[in-house]
Structure 1
Amino acid sequence: MNIKLFICFCSVIYLAGCQSTSPSAPLTPPDILNNVSFEHQPVESVEEIFSLSPEIINQFHQSIHHTPDAKIITRELLTFIFESSTNKLNYVSGSTLTANQTFSQQNANCLSLSILAHALAEELGLDSRFQRVYIPEYWALDQGFNMLTGHVNLKINRQAFESQDGVTRFYNYADSLTVDFDPNSREQGFPTQFIDKSVIAAMFYNNKGAQALVNQQYDRAFSYFKAGIDIAPHYSGSWGNVGILFKLNNQYSAAEQAYQFAIKLDEDNNTAKGNLAILLSLTGREEQAKVIQDELELKRQSNPYYHIAKGNEAYIHNEYQMAMRHYRKALTLDKKSHESYFGLARSYYQLGDTKLAERYLKQAHKSARFSFDIERYQSKLSHLSAAINY
Structure 2
Amino acid sequence: MFIKQEIYRFSIVVISLLSLSACSSMSQKNLSVDVKMPAASSLLQLQASKYTVPSIESLTQLTPIQERELLAFIADEEIAALPNRKKVSQFIGQKMVNFNYEGSNFNASDAWLNKSGNCMSLAMLTYGVAKFLNVKAVFQVVHSAPLATVITKDLMVSSDHVRTFLYEVDSSDSKSNLYLYGGEFSVIDYFPDRNDRNGGVVSDSQFLAMFYRNLAADALLDDKLELAFALMQKGLSLAPDYVPLINMMAVVHRRIEAYDIAEAYYQYGLQFKPNSLSLLSNYSFVLNSQGRIDEAQSISQQLLDLENESPYGWYSMGIEALALKDYRAAEIFFRKFIKNSPYFHQAYYELAKALNAQGKPYAAKQSLKEALTLTSLGENQQKYLAKLNWLNSVARKGLAEQ
Change (3 A) 1:21 1:311: closer
What pairs with 1:117-156 in structure 2 (closer than 5 Å)? Answer: 117-133=126-142, 140-144=149-153, 145-147=155-157, 149-156=159-166
Change (3 A) 1:20 1:305: closer
What pairs with 1:94-109 in structure 2 (closer than 5 Å)? Answer: 94-109=103-118
RMSD: 4.4
Q: Deviations over 1:57-107 (max 9, x none)?
A: 22222222464542xx434422322333651363x5x44321122223334
Separation in 2, partners of 1:86, 1:157: 24
- Maintained 8 Å contact 2:250/2:266: yes
Note the C-alpha offset of 1:117: 1.2
Matched, 1:32 2:40: yes
- TM-score (normalizing by structure 2): 0.70
Separation in 1, partners of 2:378, 2:343: 17
Separation in 2, partners of 1:266, 1:325: 22
Q: Deviations over 1:119-159 (max 9, x none)?
A: 11121112222233466899823314223644322211256
Matched, 1:6 2:14: no
Which residue in 1 is equivalent to 2:61? 51
Change (3 A) 1:346 1:175: farther
Q: Secondary structure at the match of 1:224?
A: helix
What pairs with 1:312-327 in structure 2 (closer than 5 Å)? Answer: 312-313=319-320
- Maintained 8 Å contact 2:314/2:334: yes
- Maintained 8 Å contact 2:348/2:368: no
What pairs with 1:356-371 in structure 2 (closer than 5 Å)? Answer: 363-364=374-375, 366=376
Note the C-alpha offset of 1:292: 1.7
Matched, 1:214 2:227: no
Change (3 A) 1:17 1:253: farther
- Maintained 8 Å contact 1:111/1:204: yes
Note the C-alpha offset of 1:206: 1.3
Aligned pair partner of 2:248 in 241, 245, 266: 241
Which residue in 2 is equivalent to 1:252? 259
Separation in 1, partners of 2:225, 2:337: 35
Q: Secondary structure at the match of 2:211?
A: helix
Q: Secondary structure at the match of 2:163?
A: strand
Which residue in 1 is equivalent to 2:98? 87
Separation in 2, partners of 1:309, 1:63: 43
Which residue in 2 is equivalent to 1:305? 312
- Larger displacement relative to structure 2 (171-180 or 280-289): 171-180
Q: Secondary structure at the match of 2:198?
A: coil
Which residue in 2 is equivalent to 1:287? 294
Separation in 1, partners of 2:27, 2:217: 18
- TM-score (normalizing by structure 1): 0.72
Identity across aligned pairs (percent)? 20
Separation in 1, partners of 2:230, 2:236: 10
Change (3 A) 1:127 1:4: closer
Separation in 2, partners of 1:314, 1:26: 35
Which residue in 2 is equivalent to 1:78? 89
- Maintained 8 Å contact 2:19/2:317: no
Q: Deviations over 1:306-327 (max 9, x none)?
A: 5533553466579999979976
Aligned pair partner of 1:196 in 181, 186, 203: 203
Separation in 1, partners of 2:255, 2:184: 47
- Maintained 8 Å contact 2:144/2:312: no
Separation in 1, partners of 2:378, 2:65: 37
Matched, 1:113 2:122: yes
Aligned pair partner of 1:176 in 181, 185, 195: 185
Change (3 A) 1:127 1:313: closer
Change (3 A) 1:382 1:303: same
Q: Secondary structure at the match of 2:264?
A: helix
Change (3 A) 1:102 1:362: farther
Q: Secondary structure at the match of 1:31?
A: coil
Matched residue count? 353
Which residue in 2 is equivalent to 1:22? 30
Gaps of 5+ in 1: 9-13, 162-166, 367-376, 386-390
- Maintained 8 Å contact 2:215/2:228: yes
Change (3 A) 1:39 1:326: closer
